[in-house]
Chains A and B, each alone.
Chain A
Amino acid sequence: GESVGLHLPTLSVQEGDNSIINCAYSNSASDYFIWYKQESGKGPQFIIDIRSNMDKRQGQRVTVLLNKTVKHLSLQIAATQPGDSAVYFCAENYGGSQGNLIFGKGTKLSVKP
């Protein structure tokens, strides 16, 4: 089927290496951020989130870093596996109406065996 990954920046890594995916967010008033993983033909899957009163949060094999000074968010994936191949995108809650999110366009991660 048609890929949501068309025309996206691509990060290619070797299996077992660490991956770092970056996201620049738009609104300095945003106070909540989420990373999603989307495989071809499927809906986005929640990976990890972080609130603006934190600058780092860790999950299983993933770490999110938040730099509010430069409005930058990153997702680090340790020991990247072929199953990590997908499109990754960030989302920010900019305030306004309850729960509305702004989504980035995404980065396609390709893991070479």
Chain B
Amino acid sequence: DGGITQSPKYLFRKEGQNVTLSCEQNLNHDAMYWYRQDPGQGLRLIYYSQIVNDFQKGDIAEGYSVSREKKESFPLTVTSAQKNPTAFYLCASSIYRDRAQPQHFGDGTRLSIL
């Protein structure tokens, strides 16, 4: 079945630690996205990538980093510079060339501070 897989489902970060969230898709989509969701808020865009080896900052990129070495994979690193990392992180993908296409989401990773 085609879809987006995020792992782990739950993640805990210690002070000063970087952690990496995994996102893999087998939908053959060119574009991939990372969002942050906080309770009672709309999704906020962290980073997006329209093609392999290229990515762009979203609205709240500070304290985060990404890579896009393969079409299927778009990992997100939450660095120690992100002072408020506790949130639900969602990865999404969409077909690249047509703007009028929905984004499809994984089931998220919940990150908490130890």
Contact status B104-A46, CB under 8 Å: yes
| Chain A positions 1-52 with a Cβ under 8 Å from a chain B Cβ | 1-8, 31-32, 34, 36, 41-46, 49, 51
Is B41 located at the chain interface by the 8 A CB criterion? yes
Contact status B90-A43, CB under 8 Å: yes
Is A60 located at the chain interface by the 8 A CB criterion? no
Contact status A93-B40, CB under 8 Å: no
| Chain B residues whose C-beta falls within 8 Å of the C-beta of A8 in the assembled complex | 40
State A4–B58 Cα separation when bound (angstroms): 21
Known: A34-B102, A43-B90, A43-B108. A105 touches B96 (CB 8 A): no
Number of interface residues of B (CB under 8 A): 32
- Chain A facing B: main interface SS: loop
| Chain B residues whose C-beta falls within 8 Å of the C-beta of A91 in the assembled complex | 103
Q: B100 to chain A: closest CB distance in Å?
A: 4
Q: Mark B50-89, 1 if CB is under 8 A from A, else 0.
A: 1000001010000000000000000000000000000010
Interface size class of A (residues with CB under 8 A): 20 to 34
| Chain A residues whose C-beta falls within 8 Å of the C-beta of B92 in the assembled complex | 43
Q: B95 to chain A: closest CB distance in Å?
A: 9
Is B113 located at the chain interface by the 8 A CB criterion? no
| Chain A residues whose C-beta falls within 8 Å of the C-beta of B107 in the assembled complex | 41-43
| Chain A residues whose C-beta falls within 8 Å of the C-beta of B104 in the assembled complex | 46
